[in-house]
Structure 1
Amino acid sequence: MTATTRRFAAHTNAANIDAQRKRELGHIHQGKAALAWSDDDYRFHLRNLTGKTSASELDAAGRAKVLAHMATLGYKPKVSTFKPFTQAKKIEWLWKEIGKHGGLRDASPAALLAFAGNTTGTGYSSLDFLPTLEASKVIEALKAMLDRAKRAQAKEGSAA
């Protein structure tokens, strides 16, 4: 019996590759600033490590080599702390914004759940349980409400 080995193919697309390239170039330029390299210092290191004089000319291996060298000199890339909204958090944020612009009679969480139930035709005990499609409907309805509340507030402000 022969043993078979499975090969796993990396499924990448052009957008992911481009995003990774931009992220790595950003880290290289942050490293240049963090290490207080002049342009001459920067080009010296690039040329010695990769033979290139510009980070834009580097391939993935070249970028990795430069970042590894910077790490040996003490540079650590800043990790992004950006965390995108969940749909439930976006719904809550939009509700609060509408309230700030005077577009709600009742800005309570219970009123928000009732609004979501009326919009979707279903009832949920928490916004976290809304399916994606229904949450999208609620978000679009809230965006329209926010636009109306902003226009009404602007109209009142110009009339005063």
Structure 2
Amino acid sequence: MNALATIHIGKKALGLDDDAYRDLLERETGKRSAKGLSETERGRVIDAMRRAGFKPASKGLRNGLEGRFAKKLQALWIAGWNLGLVRDRRDSALTSFVKRQTGLDAVRFCHDAADARKAVEALKAWLARDGGVMFGNTNGQEWLAGDGGKIAWAQWQKLTPGAELYPDQKGFEPSVFELVGDRTFQGGLISLSPADWRLVMNAFGERIRATT
């Protein structure tokens, strides 16, 4: 597989929208399109994607889980992977976990709203209990309204033992913007998009897995 194809696969795997993708290109190469990059520049982009959690050589990590609610469940499962709780990120492992917790099979929890809700709640309960994710609680911080911020903060607490939300946020915030770039720094953490948070979660997840 050539480097350009790998970059496009990395964009999809990391969940980057066009703006976040082009910002990553610009940070690494000064250019906003992959087509005009040299092989050396493409290599730098791939290395940056690797640091964010992209595994170019890892094929077949998922087994094709489909359905209206599969994406939400997969996102929570990858959050567990990035928190160091999940050892096997494949969809088959997700299916096994949900079946153990709820007795539901994939056909039901991927397509039926009530069963999907049970599966989501089972995953969230686990991430909250063992991963420290504060679902349903913003603690007065608007940037904690979305799951991305909540999961990234839980990761930061693992990476920085003893971190507390208010006094230590200053250490968290520069670390986040170092990953996503200073383009949104003036707007604060509330200005980050879901794609930005995915980039942060993947990068923090790589650090967590390196220590476990």
TM-score tier, shorter chain, comes to: 0.3 to 0.5
Question: If the length of structure 1 is used for normalisation, what is the TM-score?
Answer: 0.38
Question: If the length of structure 2 is used for normalisation, what is the TM-score?
Answer: 0.30
Q: Which has the higher contact order (CA 8 A, sep 6+)?
A: 2
Q: Whose Rg is larger? A: 1
